Structure 1
Amino acid sequence: MALPRTNVLNQMLILTFILNLLPAAKADMNTPVQTPWDSKVSKDNPLPEYPRPQLVRSEWKNLNGKWDYAIAPKGKGEPKEWGGKILVPFCFESQLSGVHKQITLDDWMWYKRSFTVPKSWGGKSIMLNFQASDWETVVYINGKKVGRHRGGYSPFSFDITDFINKDDRQELVVRVWDNSGMELFTSCGKQGNPNHWNSNYPNSSGIWQTVWLEPVNEGGAVDLDINASLKKSMVSMFIETADSPASETNAKIKILDDGDVVAEKKAPVNKEIKLFIENPKGWTPDNPHLYDIEVALERSGKVIDRFASYCGLRDVSIDPTRKGPQILLNGEPLFQFGPLDQSYWPRSVLTPPTEEAIVFELEYLKQVGCNMVRLHIKRNPSRWYYHCDRLGLIVWQDFVCNKPFPKQKIDAQESKRWFSEQEELVDSLNCHPSILKWIVFNEAWGQHDTERIVKKAESMLSPEYLVSAASGWTDFDNLGDIRDLHEYSRFPAATAPSEESKRAVVMGEIGGFNVPIKGNNWVQYPEPALPDNPDFKVEGKDRRGGMRSNTDSADRDFVTDIKRPLFSQKNMATHYQRFIETLAQERYFGLSGAVYTQLTDMRHEQNGWLTFDRKVSKIDPERLNQIHQVLYQPVQERQKIFSFQSEWKHKGQKIQFPISADSDEIRNLSKYESAVYSTEFDVDEKPKQAVINVKLRSEHQKDKFGYLKVYIDDNLIYDDLSRHKKKETRITCVQLTEQQCGLLSKGGHKLKIEVDSTINFELLDVSIDKIVK
C-alpha cells in the first residue's frame, strides 16, 4: 500500500541544534519539557492520518478534535453541566488535552460531541471505531445506549446504524471509567496509582487514540488476518465478514509488487485463502520489502466492499544446533538489538503528539544502527507498527500486564478477563511483519499460573511468532522459545549454552546509563561532573546509581535495578562503547539479541539515548551507529590464553577451580572481607584484542548482592556484582581495552580475583581468550 514516506530526521537534528542555541525560556511548572511537535498539534483535527493502515477504506470521517467533557462521580447519570472542552484523542491527565486533571477510581469521564453522516453513506452500516480508550467505555447515540467495551489498549467498534436518526446532526456521548488495574485485575501497564497525582508513569485515562466513523455495506469485512511466509512463498489471508455465509460472498484479491500483479485469486470469505508468489522477496531490517494488497468483496456479481492492505514475507525460527540456540529470520541468524521504548510523551502521556513525532523516533533508531525495538507493556497506535514495517524495525511486543504483585491470589475469572484483553491485543496486531516476538510477563508483574497462560499464548501465536514466557526475574525452565534476561550490570552476563539446549538467550533489558541533561529533563536534574574513567572503573563515591544521587551508604554497589552508573554527557560515549564491545563478545556463547534501556528519558529516569523532549541525542547519532556496528559483525574466533578449570592458590594452598561459596576460605570470612585467589599464566605473544570470561552460577537472595574483582598483574580489570534472579550458570565476557591488552606482554603474568564475603554462588571460574581475526 503506497502510503507517503516522510523523512524528517535530518530536519529534526537541524531544528534541535537551533533550539539549543536559543535562550532558555522561563520554566513552566505545568510543562517542564516540551517536544518540538507539541506546538504543531492541530486544535481542530489532531492526528488526521487514517488510523488503520492494514485495512484501509477510502471513505471515513475523523472525530478527533474538541469535545465537551465532564468529570462526575461514578454511578451518576449524564451530567447536566459540562466542564469545558477536551482535545480528543489526548487523555485527561495530559496537557495537550487542555484538561490536565487527575482521574480517580471514583470518577466517570464524560465526553460529548455532535456529528453528521454524509448523505453518500445512505444505505450502509455506520461503524464507530475507537483505536483505544481506557478502560470501560460506554457509548450512547442520540440518548440511547449502543454498547460497552472493556479494555484499555486495543481497538474496538460499534455498529451505530440503528441509532442514527433522520436529523442532520447526531449526538454522541461516551462515558469512560478507568479501572487502572486497581479494583479489577486488568491490563494497565506502567500507569500509576490514579489516586496519586504526578506519578512517574502517569495514567492515560479515557480516550487516548483516534476515534473515527466509516461506512460499510452489509456483509463487508470486519476483520483481517494475514500470515505471509517466505519459506512457503505463500500469503495466507482470513477475511471475516458478518451476517454472510461464506458461499454468498467472495473475495477478489490482488497482490502487487511496485504496481505489478504477482498473485491473484477469487475465493469465499470466512475461511483461509492461500495465494502463492513466484520468486518472492523477503522482509528483513535491511530490505523491508512490502507487497501491496487490493481486496474487493463481491456478492451476486456486485462489489460490496473494497479495502487496501499490505504484507511482508518472513519466517522466524530457532536453530538449536548452533553454539547456543540462535534466532533465525528467513533461515539466517540475525543478532537483534534496539532500545526499550516505554513510549511516554511529556505533554501527551501515552499518545504520540503527531505522526511526524512517530516517524522521527523510528528513523532515529535506524540512523543509530538498530534493527529492533521492544515496545514496553503498551500498544502503540497502528500507524507506529506500519512505520516499523516500512522502515525495517523488528518489534518485540509485550503483553500489557497488571501492576507488580497486585494480589497474593488471582482467581480464574480475573485471569480470564486479563487474558481476553491480550487476545484482543494479538488479534489487532497479527498482520504486521515487523512483530517477531511476544513477551507474556515482564518482571513478574501480575505473573500468575505461568505454565498454563504461556502455553495458551503459544497456541495463539506459534509458529508465526516467538514467545518469551517471562522477560526478567521469574523464568520457568524450557517454557517458551526464549530465555529472556534483565541484566543491569555494567558487564552483562548471558546464560551459558550448557543451560539452554532449545531456547535462544536474549537480554530483554540491559544498561540504563544515567546521563541527565540540564534543561531537557522533567525534574531538572543537574548534569553530573564526575571524574574521567577511561577504563570504565567506577569506585567509591563515584559509584552513583541512576535515577538520583544516592547516599554514601548506598553508593557501595548496585543494590537494586534502579541504581545504575551515572555519567556526564562528555564521558558517556566512552563508557557506552566499552559496554557494547563487552555485549558483542557475549555472542560467542550464543547470545541472540539485547535491549538497551532505553530510547528516551522518562520523568524520573535519565537513561535514554534521547532526552525526554526528544531534542538532544546524548551521543552523536553517527557515533552511536559506529559503536553499534560491532554487534552485527561476524563472531570472532578465539584462542585460549588461560583456561577454565585451572589451578589457583589461596594463602599458599592449591585450589582447583571452579569454586563455590561453600568453600572454607569464603564461608569463614567476616562481613565485607574478601577471599583472594591468585595464579600465574604465560603469554606467547601480546594480543591485539583479548577477553576475560567470568563464569558464575549464583542465585539472587535479598540483601545478598556479592562483589567480585579481577586483576591482571595487580591492575583492576573487572569489578561487578552477582545479580542473578535464577540459579543458573552465566558467563560475562569483558572486552579488554587497548591499555589493558598492553598488560599481556610476552612472558609470565599474575591473575588474581577477590571474592566478597556476601557473594552467593555455587560455581565461579575465570578464563582469558585472545581474539583471532
Structure 2
Amino acid sequence: MIRIKNLFFLALLFSSFTSRAQQAQLPTPWSEEAKNAQLPLAEYPRPQMERQEWLCLNGKWDYIGGNNVPSALNPSVPISFDHAKESILVPYCPESYLSGIQRKQEINMWYNKKFELPSHWKNKDIILNFGAVDHDATIFVNGKKAGTHAGGYDSFSLNITEFLKTGSNTIVVAAHDNNDGRYPSGKNGPRGDYTFSSGIWQTVWIEPVSKNHIKQIRLLPQVVEKQLKVQVNSTAKAKVTAVVSIDGKEVSKTVFNSGTDVNIPIENPELWSPDSPFLYDLKLSIHDKNGTIIDEVKSYFGMRDIKLGNINAVVRPLLNGQFVMQLGLLDQGYWPDGILTAPTEEALKYDIEITKKAGYNLIRKHMKTEPQRFYYWADKMGLLVWQDMPCLWYPDEDTTIYRKAFREEFKAIIDDHYNSPSIIAWVPFNENWGAFDVKNITNWTKQYDPSRLVNGNSGFNNNPSYQKAYGDPGNGDFVDTHIYVGPTGASEPDQKRAASLGEFGGVGLFVRGHMWPVENNAYAYEPTIDALTDRYIFLMDNVEQLVRYKGLSVAIYTQTTDVEHEINGLLTYDRKIQKMVLDRIKTANQAVIRAGHDLN
C-alpha cells in the first residue's frame, strides 16, 4: 500500500511536470519579458508614500497548492517545503500563464521565500507589505505566525521585526480562496464569466523604518480655499514637516503634529484636469525630540475638486467649477497572460496611453482595483477614474459575515486610493449584482468621502435573474442606466442628480488569431475595422445629441479591450490589434467633449 505521504509527493511531482509544459494561450507583447524577468514589476509599488530604502520580494517563490494539500485557511503553523515543490513567479496568480503554475481554483496556496536583510538595515524595524492577496492570507516569518489579512483587493502591511534573525530569513504565505462568490470578488467569481484568480497578485516588498514611522497619509485638495488638507498618522506622536515643491523648487513649508489635520496653503494653485494633469511634489518627514529626521516619504497631489452643480438649470458634475463631459471606456483590467495582473509596467501604462490617445477623458475601473501604480499613471497622464467596488454575489447568505466583509473591504479600498486626484467617483454596486442596503451604503460612501461623487447602483435598470432587483436607490449623485447597444433610452437628470450612461455600446469585431479560445460574443457585430469605426462614430453622434439636448453628463463605452469571450473592445485581448481607426474615433470623442464645454 502506498502511504498518503507518498501520494502527496507524487501529486506534486506530476503537477510540477505538467506546469513545465504549459504554453501561453494568447501571448501579449510583454509576455516573454515578464516570464523571463528575475524581478518582475520591480518599480516601487506605492508612489504616494514612497521610501528610498526598500527591497522587492517579487520573483521566484517555492509553491505548493491545490485542493488536496493542507488547508491554507488560517493555519496555526506553516507546512514544510523540504520535499518536492514547484516554483511560482510572484506576483502573478497561480491560474495565470506568467505564474508558471497555470491551474484553476487551487483553493489552498502555500508560498515560501528566503531572503537576507541588507546589513545597513540593522537596528531598523522591518515592514512587510502586500499589494493584494486573494483572499485569506496568513503570514509566517521564520516559522512563527506574524499576522493575517482577509480581503482580495486591498493592501496590508505587517511589522515583522520581532520574528527576524541575522542572516537568512524565511517568509511563508498561506493563501486560501474558495472563489465561491460569497466574499467581494467582482468578475473573479462563479458568476463573473472569466478565469478565476487567487493568491498573491500584487507586489510584495519590505522596507526599513524607525520605531516611530509614518503609517498613513491623507491628502485632500481644497481648491476654493487654496489649500491642501493633510493628515499624517505615525506609530507615535511626532513633529511633521511638509514641503510642497514644483520641479525641486519649494513653494510651501509647514510644521505640525502627527495625527492632526493641517491646512497647507497653496497660493495661485495650478489645477489638475485631464487636459492639464499638473501634480505637486510633497515630502513628509517626522522628527525626534532633537529635530533629527527619523522617517521620510515622498508623495504628490493634484489640486482639483469635483461636485454637482447647475448648468443652465441642468444638474451636472463640475470639475474645478466647470462642466466637463465625461466620456470614457469600461476598463476591466484583465490580461490573457497575467489575468488580474498586468505583465509589466509598460503594459500597465499601455491601456491608459491608448485611452488618452483615442480622445477619452475617463475610465470606469470595473469590478476590480488595480495596483497603486495604475492610479499613479492615471494621475500623471490625466485620466478621470470611476472606481467600482468588486461585488459579492450572494448578499443574502450569512449576512452578518459577508455583508460585513463587503463593508470593511470597501472602506479599505477607499482608504488605499483616497489620495489619487484621478479618482472622482466611487461605484458601490453595479446592475444590482449582490446589491444590499444600497441607499444606506451610498449615503455612507458620500459621508466617508464627501470630496468625490457616488454612483450608488450603476445600471440599476439591469438585474441578474437569480435575485430581486434593488433598483434605483434614489440618492447619490447620478441617475445611471446601462443601454446595449444604445445610446437611445439613456437616463435624464433629475432635480438632484446628474445623468449617466454607465455602460453602452459593446459592438464586436472578430479578429482571427487574436481571440481567447472559447466561443466569442458581443452585443452586436460589424464585419470590418472601417465598419466598426463608422458604427462607433454614429453612436457618438447620438451621444452628442443627448449631451446638448437631454442633459447627459457621462457616457462609458464598453470596452477598453476584449476580455476572454467578449470581443467588443477597442483593442484585442492581447493588445496587438486596434479594432477601430483611432484618429477617427478621437475626432468623434473630442466633438462630444467639446459639446460639454459649449454648455458652460
Is 1:181–1:402's contact at 8 Å kept on the other side of the alignment?
no
Aligned to 1:469: 456
SS at match of 2:524: coil
Aligned to 1:653: none
Alignment of 1:151-162 (within 5 A): 151-162=151-162
Aligned to 2:184: 187
Q: How far apart are the structure 2 equivalents of 1:29 and 1:86?
A: 13
Alignment of 1:476-625 (within 5 A): 476-497=472-493, 500-523=494-517, 547-548=520-521, 563-587=523-547, 588-625=549-586
Aligned-pair CA distance for 1:460: 0.9
1:69 matched to 2:63? The reply is yes
Q: How far apart are the structure 1 equivalents of 2:320 and 2:179?
A: 40
Alignment of 1:243-642 (within 5 A): 244=236, 246=237, 249-300=238-289, 301-320=291-310, 322-403=312-393, 406=394, 408-409=396-397, 411-462=399-450, 464-473=451-460, 474-497=470-493, 500-523=494-517, 547-548=520-521, 563-587=523-547, 588-634=549-595
Aligned-pair CA distance for 1:637: 9.9
Aligned residue identity for 1:78: I
Is 2:140–2:171's contact at 8 Å kept on the other side of the alignment?
yes
Aligned to 1:659: none
Higher deviation after alignment, 67-76 or 207-216: 67-76
Aligned to 2:132: 132
Q: How far apart are the structure 1 equivalents of 2:499 and 2:487?
A: 16
Write the deviation string for residues 231-285 of structure 1: whole angstroms up to 9, x where unpaired. Answer: 221111111111x1x3xx1111110122221111011111112101111100000
Aligned-pair CA distance for 1:84: 1.0
Write the deviation string for residues 198-243 of structure 1: whole angstroms up to 9, x where unpaired. Answer: x84112210000000000101100111111122221111111111x
Scaled by the length of structure 1, what TM-score is found? 0.70
Aligned-pair CA distance for 1:181: 4.5
Structure 1 gap segments, 5+ residues each: 1-27, 526-546, 549-561, 639-773
Residues 159/408 of structure 1: CA separation in 2 closer, same or farther (3 Å cut): closer
Larger radius of gyration: 1
Is 1:70–1:79's contact at 8 Å kept on the other side of the alignment?
no
Q: How far apart are the structure 2 equivalents of 1:366 and 1:280?
A: 24
Aligned residue identity for 1:386: Y
Aligned-pair CA distance for 1:121: 1.0
Q: How far apart are the structure 2 equivalents of 1:267 and 1:291?
A: 20
Is 1:399–1:439's contact at 8 Å kept on the other side of the alignment?
yes
Q: How far apart are the structure 2 equivalents of 1:458 and 1:231?
A: 20
Q: How far apart are the structure 1 equivalents of 2:224 and 2:41?
A: 38
Aligned-pair CA distance for 1:113: 1.2
Residues 265/407 of structure 1: CA separation in 2 closer, same or farther (3 Å cut): closer
Q: How far apart are the structure 2 equivalents of 1:313 and 1:408?
A: 41
Aligned-pair CA distance for 1:449: 1.6
Q: How far apart are the structure 2 equivalents of 1:413 and 1:89?
A: 28
Residues 226/637 of structure 1: CA separation in 2 closer, same or farther (3 Å cut): closer
Residues 637/275 of structure 1: CA separation in 2 closer, same or farther (3 Å cut): closer
Q: How far apart are the structure 2 equivalents of 1:482 and 1:332?
A: 17
Is 1:484–1:506's contact at 8 Å kept on the other side of the alignment?
yes
Alignment of 1:189-268 (within 5 A): 189-193=186-190, 200-242=193-235, 244=236, 246=237, 249-268=238-257
Q: How far apart are the structure 1 equivalents of 2:23 and 2:372?
A: 29
SS at match of 1:493: coil
SS at match of 1:632: helix
1:34 matched to 2:23? The reply is no
1:164 matched to 2:164? The reply is yes
Q: How far apart are the structure 1 equivalents of 2:569 and 2:90?
A: 29
Q: How far apart are the structure 2 equivalents of 1:475 and 1:393?
A: 29
- RMSD over aligned Cα atoms: 2.0
Q: How far apart are the structure 1 equivalents of 2:147 and 2:139?
A: 6
Is 1:251–1:269's contact at 8 Å kept on the other side of the alignment?
yes
Is 2:480–2:491's contact at 8 Å kept on the other side of the alignment?
no
Q: How far apart are the structure 1 equivalents of 2:452 and 2:37?
A: 40
Residues 590/82 of structure 1: CA separation in 2 closer, same or farther (3 Å cut): farther
Residues 100/524 of structure 1: CA separation in 2 closer, same or farther (3 Å cut): closer
Aligned sequence identity (%): 35
Residues 452/410 of structure 1: CA separation in 2 closer, same or farther (3 Å cut): farther
Aligned residue identity for 1:113: K
Is 2:189–2:196's contact at 8 Å kept on the other side of the alignment?
yes
Aligned residue identity for 1:469: G
Q: How far apart are the structure 2 equivalents of 1:296 and 1:610?
A: 44
Q: How far apart are the structure 1 equivalents of 2:196 and 2:105?
A: 8
Aligned residue identity for 1:128: L
Structure 2 gap segments, 5+ residues each: 1-20, 461-469
Q: How far apart are the structure 2 equivalents of 1:605 and 1:506?
A: 23
Higher RCO structure (Cα 8 Å, ≥6 apart): 2
Aligned-pair CA distance for 1:408: 4.2
Q: How far apart are the structure 2 equivalents of 1:129 and 1:135?
A: 16
1:148 matched to 2:148? The reply is yes
Aligned residue identity for 2:477: D
